Amino acid sequence: MSVAGLHIVLVSVHGLIRGNNPEYGRDADTGGQVRYVIELARALADRRRVARVDILTRRIVDSTVSSVYSKATEQIAENAFIVRLSCGTDDYIRKEALWSYLSLFADSAREYIASAARGPLLFHSHYADSGMVAVELAKQLHAPHVFTGHSLGRAKRQRLLEAGVSQVDVEQRFNMSTRIASEEWVMSQADLVIASTDREIRKQYSLYGGFDAWRSIVNPPGIDTHTFRPPDNAEKFTEMRAQLDALFSDPEKPLILAISRPDERKNLTVLAHSFIGVSKLRERANLLIVSGGSGKYDRCNMQPNQALSELKSLIYSHNLEGSVALLEFMPSDRIAELYKIAFRSRGALVNSALTEPFGLTLLEASATGLPIIATRDGGPSEIIQHCRNGLLIDPLDTGQIAEALLCVLNNMTLWETCSNNGLRLIRQNYSWSGHTDAYLNRVESLFRPDIEKESSLRPYVCAIGA
């Protein structure tokens, strides 16, 4: 059955979502998921079978963030829009505090869809909070529901405990019981689960009784190869080069990049310790960590200040100024410049996260020609398996992190091999055109009249807004 004129509704409640210069990495809620949703919306809107794509997210009126987030709608492509809805509070608050507002968000979403729906409806929710909303909407409007978790609570809890965070602290800070119960319920009700890697299915989704592998597919996201590519000979990056020259004592050394949200799970302090403990690495390369935003999140309890303060303290107390530097997150075009500068310096990208569901920055860096050094826990293992573009490390072993970095930087044959493999195989294995082909072919089956929607067959009950 071919379904034409689809109206795809992407539900992504938390974080800061805008089409122009998205603030990826500004805080713990505005990272890879936000990038995934924006780029997926644009890619789907470009397909003939799709009439319209909406991203439903929160309307935020808060002096700590841009006024853009208070606008009701924002067009991001010819047939793609961000729609911002009321949610019971206009304040920008962290995702762990949003659970009690989800029923109000669902009410706003229902009103919007009643006025704007065109063609067959498909809901695609992102993360458990949005999943709870989409389950309600899909049932009421008799529409299929696709779920992508991005990050799952059981895996996150396990890695935080292994890193020494107490069970009580995990529960208090991350509202983990509510999150996991919600994930169980959403998985049991979704018509389809889309994961980015096979490992994500085996090691994360399979931990849930509500998950059914027969209702899942692996479909990795794509990469914007227009933005993320090797530098042209004419590109000078004068402004960015001047900024880096002021940060490093010897700016001609290879540049190692670490780009992530200011989140404990990203494990940036352990990365800093790898420089502290190995003088050969400090002598060989510079480390630039790009993380966090303006730091105005205390009242929101977003907690980037704690993670970044620890990082700054390490840099200063161990006299790493001049070899390790920290910059706030910046727009994608500026990040692309950093990748290109690091490529010219024969540097690398490192991701030392405790666990990484996928790793979009790894694709970006590889598409630019940078070798990658990445955590063995999560999506990076499959990226490196498919593309042979770097090395895997134990994220808790500072010596191994340093050794892997030195191995790539000191062996130019290995560096060239990883670089060339990434340039060729990232484009071959991770494209948005391939992703949307697989996506639309699979979701069309959800509209077949002979398939009866499974409803409430599993014993996991978690009321929306719990």
> What pLDDT score was predicted for residue 449?
64
Over the chain, what is the mean pLDDT? 91
pLDDT band at 7 (very low <50, low <70, confident <90, very high): very high
Judge whether residue 466 has pLDDT over 80. Answer: no
Dihedral angle sign, alpha carbons of residues 122, 127, 132, 133: negative
Judge whether residue 63 has pLDDT over 50. Answer: yes
pLDDT band at 305 (very low <50, low <70, confident <90, very high): low
Judge whether residue 294 has pLDDT over 60. Answer: no
Fold match between domain 6-222+431-447 and domain 238-429: yes
In the CATH scheme, what is the code of domain 238-429?
A: 3.40.50.2000
Domain ranges of the chain: 6-222+431-447, 238-429
> What pLDDT score was predicted for residue 193?
98
Q: Residue 465 contacts by C-beta under 8 Å, 6 or more apart in sequence?
A: 99, 100, 101, 102, 103, 104, 132
To which H or E segment does residue 123 belong?
strand 121-126
User: By percentage, how much of the chain surpasses pLDDT 90?
Assistant: 75
The first and second tokens of residue 409, run together, are 């930087």
What is the model's pTM? 0.83
pLDDT tens profile 38-48 = 999 999 999 99
pLDDT tens profile 216-268 = 999 999 998 888 999 998 899 999 999 999 999 999 999 999 998 777 788 89
Other CB atoms within a 10 A radius of the CB of residue 376 amount to: 15
Judge whether residue 293 has pLDDT over 80. Answer: no
User: Edge to edge, what strands does the sheet with 6-11 contain?
Assistant: 73-77, 80-85, 50-58, 6-11, 121-126, 145-148, 192-195, 216-218
> What pLDDT score was predicted for residue 225?
86
pLDDT band at 2 (very low <50, low <70, confident <90, very high): low
Nearest to residue 84, comparing CAs of 46, 58, 60?
58
63, burial (CB in 10 Å: exposed 0-12, middle 13-18, buried 19+): exposed
6-222+431-447: CATH superfamily: Glycogen Phosphorylase B; (3.40.50.2000)
Least confident of 18-32, 188-202, 334-348: 18-32
> What pLDDT score was predicted for residue 450?
54
| CA separation, residue 57 to residues 84, 147, 192 (Å) | 5, 16, 21
Least confident of 25-34, 68-77, 244-253: 25-34
User: Edge to edge, what strands does the sheet with 390-393 contain?
Assistant: 324-327, 286-290, 255-259, 348-351, 372-375, 390-393
Mean pLDDT of 299-318: 72
> What pLDDT score was predicted for residue 306?
76
Interhelix angle 127-141/102-116, rounded to 10 degrees, is 50
SS3 460: coil
Mean pLDDT of 269-285: 93
Mean pLDDT of 162-183: 94
The first and second tokens of residue 36, run together, are 């995934």
User: By percentage, how much of the chain surpasses pLDDT 70?
Assistant: 93
CA distance 185 to 209: 9
SS3 142: coil
pLDDT tens profile 189-214 = 999 999 999 989 999 999 999 999 99
